[in-house]
Amino acid sequence: MSLRLYLTAMSLGTLLCVTAWVQIIRTSDPHTAPWFIFSFFYATLFLALVGGFSLVGFVWRIWRKREAMILFRHVRKTFRQGLLFAILVTSALYLKSHTWLTWWSAVILILALVLIESIIITKTKPAH
């Protein structure tokens, strides 16, 4: 898959998920909505965040590091970090909706995601 095709597909997918998420917010009442509406709400929010964070992260990395580096490395890193950050935001919102979000649960969630990212980074470093 070419970089242009990836960025186009990610942008369109993100736009579609944001549109679906906004439509869910506009048309459903959270007090009477069935469980699957909440599932769609969190799924579309999660996918929109993954796409948005990945795209913004990719643009940021390209702008910040102007060296000639393989662009697909940026795509992998930004997608992974966008995925982890979307997990953080979506999980925090879910916990908050159930009044389970406390300072210590947020710290545990952040530490777990930092640990996952640290493990992935150490596993992907080339051996010298």
> Could you write out the DSSP letters of every residue in 48-94?
HHHHHHHHHHHHHHHHH--S---HHHHHHHHHHHHHHHHHHHHHHHH
CA 12 to each of CA 3, 4, 7, 35, 47: distance values in angstroms, whole numbers, following the listed order: 14, 12, 9, 27, 12
Q: pLDDT averaged over consecutive 10-residue blocks of the chain (128 residues)?
A: 92 98 97 96 98 95 74 86 98 97 97 97 74
Question: What is the pLDDT at residue 69?
Answer: 63
Q: What is the pTM for the complete model shown?
A: 0.90
For 72, the token pair is 């697909």
Token pair of 48, please?
A: 């929109």
> Which amino acid, residue 114?
V
Per-residue confidence (pLDDT) for residue 8, from 0 to 100: 96
Q: Domain-by-domain residue ranges, the chain?
A: 3-90
pLDDT on residue 10: 97
pLDDT at 74: 84
